[in-house]
Amino acid sequence: MEILSCHSTSFCYVENVRGKAIGGCLSSNQAKFSILKEERMCYVLFKLSRGARRYSGADQFSIKTPNRSQICCPINALKEFDNFDSSVLSKSYNSYVVDRKESSPDVTGAGSSVPKVIIPGLPDESKDDYVAPISSCYWEWKPKLNVHYEKSGCQNVNSPAMLFLPGFGVGSFHYEKQLKDLGRDHRIWAIDFLGQGKSLPYEDLTSPSKEQPDPVWGFGDEAEPWAKELVYSIDLWKEQVHYFIEEVIKEPVYIVGNSLGGYVAIYFAACYPHLVKGVTLLNATPFWGFFPNPVRSPRLSKVFPWAGQFPLPTSVRKVTELVWQKISDPESIAKILKQVYADHTTKVDNVFARILETTKHPAAAAAFASIMFAPRGQLSFEEALSGCQMNNVPVCLMYGKEDPWVKPIWGLQVKRQLPAAPYYEISPAGHCPHDEVPEVVNFLLRGWMRSLESHGSVALLLLESPESVECDIVRDLEFFCEGPKRSARVQFYGSTVPHWKRVSAYLKTQFQNRGAYSR
Write down the pLDDT at residue 513: 63
Measured at the CA of 195, the angle between CA 162 and CA 230, to 5 degrees, comes to: 110
The confidence score (pLDDT) of residue 46 equals: 38
Judged against a pLDDT cut of 90, whether residue 123 lies above it is answered with yes
**Would the pLDDT of 302 be above 90?**
no
Q: Find the mean pLDDT for residues 438-453.
A: 97
Please tell me the least confidently modeled range out of 12-21, 326-335, 373-382, 448-457. 12-21
Asked if pLDDT for residue 361 goes beyond 60, the answer is: yes
CB 398 within 8 A of CB 424: yes
β partners of residue 148? 138
The pLDDT tens digits for 470-512 are 788 999 999 998 778 999 999 999 876 666 666 776 677 666 6
In this prediction, residue 205 carries a pLDDT of 94
Q: pTM for this one?
A: 0.80
Alpha-carbon torsion angle 170, 176, 179, 182, nearest 10: -110
In this predicted model, what pLDDT tens digit does every residue of 362-401 receive, in sequence order? 999 999 999 999 999 999 999 999 999 999 999 999 999 9
Average pLDDT over all residues of the chain: 81
Banded model confidence at residue 409, pLDDT cuts 50, 70, 90:
very high
| pLDDT top residue among 325 and 19 | 325
pLDDT of residue 104: 40
pLDDT single digits (tens) 160-176: 999 999 999 999 999 99
Q: What is the tens place of the pLDDT at every residue in 176-188?
A: 999 999 999 999 9
Whole-angstrom distance, CA of residue 159 vs CA of residue 131: 17
Tell me, which fold does domain 132-393 have in CATH?
Rossmann fold (3.40.50)
Task: Provide, rounded to the nearest whole percent, the portion of the chain with pLDDT above 70.
Answer: 73
Helices of type H across 104-259: 176-181, 234-244
Name which of 193-197, 239-243, 324-328, 460-464 the model is least confident about: 460-464
Q: What is the pLDDT of residue 338?
A: 95
At residue 200, the 3 state secondary structure works out as coil
pLDDT tens digits, 34-64: 333 333 333 333 333 333 333 333 333 333 3
Q: Where are the beta strands (DSSP E) in 338-456?
A: 395-400, 423-427
Residue 407 has a CB neighbour count (10 Å cut-off) of 17
Closest Cα partner for 374 from 318, 321, 319, 306? 306
Strand partners, 138: 148
Q: Distance from CA of residue 454 to its chain's centroid?
A: 21
- What is the rounded average pLDDT of the residues 125-152? 95
Is the model more confident about 89 or about 417? 417
Question: Using the 8-state DSSP alphabet, how is residue 253 labeled?
Answer: E
- From CA 474, how far away is CA 58, in angstroms rounded? 25
Q: What is the mean pLDDT of residues 312-335?
A: 94
CA 10 to chain centre: 25
**Which is more confidently placed, 429 or 39?**
429
pLDDT above 50 (res 66): no
* Res 331 pLDDT > 60: yes
Query: What pLDDT shows up at residue 2?
Result: 34
Q: How sure is the predictor about 7, in pLDDT bands with cuts at 50, 70 and 90?
A: very low
Q: Where are the alpha helices (DSSP H) in 142-223?
A: 176-181
pLDDT at 430 over 70: yes
- Residue 316: what residue type? V
Handedness of CA 515, 517, 518, 519 (dihedral sign): positive
What letter represents residue 81's amino acid? Answer: F
- Quick one: three-class SS letters along 77-114? HHCCCCCCCHHHHHCHHHCEEEECCCCCCCCCCCCCCC
> In sequence order, what E strands does 355-505 have?
395-400, 423-427, 473-480, 485-493
pLDDT at 103: 38
d(CA 443, CA 455): 19
pLDDT higher than 60, residue 67 = no
Intervals of CATH 3.40.50.1820 along the chain = 132-393
